[in-house]
């Protein structure tokens, strides 16, 4: 069965520093997609970054980068130059590659707090 594991319930980072949020996944499908979403206290899930299982390079989107290590089945999110507005819940998710629904399987989430 497909599974996403986020082992860090909470993280603190000083403003302007970089932080890494961990994510490991488990799947037997050769084709899958990995996502990171940010969820502020307002509740809306905000898409941050996507990595396909066949992508050769690590995905980057502005201050966000995804450290994709396929052999280790990890997809860690790196946020550079943290800002106070980055304080939120972060979810790693995997898309079911075998199905045709684009169904997302989410991890438990990591709460990030940025200190001034």
Which stretches of the chain bind other proteins, using CB under 8 A?
4, 33, 35, 37, 42-47, 50, 52, 91, 93, 95, 99-109
Q: By the 8 A CB rule, do 19 and 79 touch?
A: yes
E-state strands within 1-116? 3-5, 10-14, 19-21, 24-26, 33-39, 46-52, 60-61, 64-69, 74-79, 88-95, 104-106, 110-115
In angstroms, what is the minimal distance from the CB of 47 to other proteins?
7
Q: Which is nearer to other proteins, 4 or 66 (CB)?
A: 4
Q: Which is nearer to other proteins, 35 or 68 (CB)?
A: 35
Q: Which is nearer to other proteins, 9 or 116 (CB)?
A: 9
């Amino acid at each position: 069965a497909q599974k996403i594991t986020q082992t860090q319930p909470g993280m603190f980072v000083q403003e302007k520093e970089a932080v890494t949020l961990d994510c490991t996944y488990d799947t037997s499908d050769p084709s899958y997609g990995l996502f990171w979403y940010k969820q502020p206290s307002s509740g809306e899930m905000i898409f941050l970054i996507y990595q396909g299982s066949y992508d050769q390079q690590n995905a980057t989107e502005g201050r966000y980068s995804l450290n994709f290590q396929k052999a280790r089945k990890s997809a860690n999110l790196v946020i550079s130059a943290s800002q106070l507005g980055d304080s939120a819940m972060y979810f790693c998710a995997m898309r079911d590659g075998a199905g045709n629904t684009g169904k997302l399987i989410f991890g438990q989430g990591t709460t990030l707090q940025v200190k001034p």
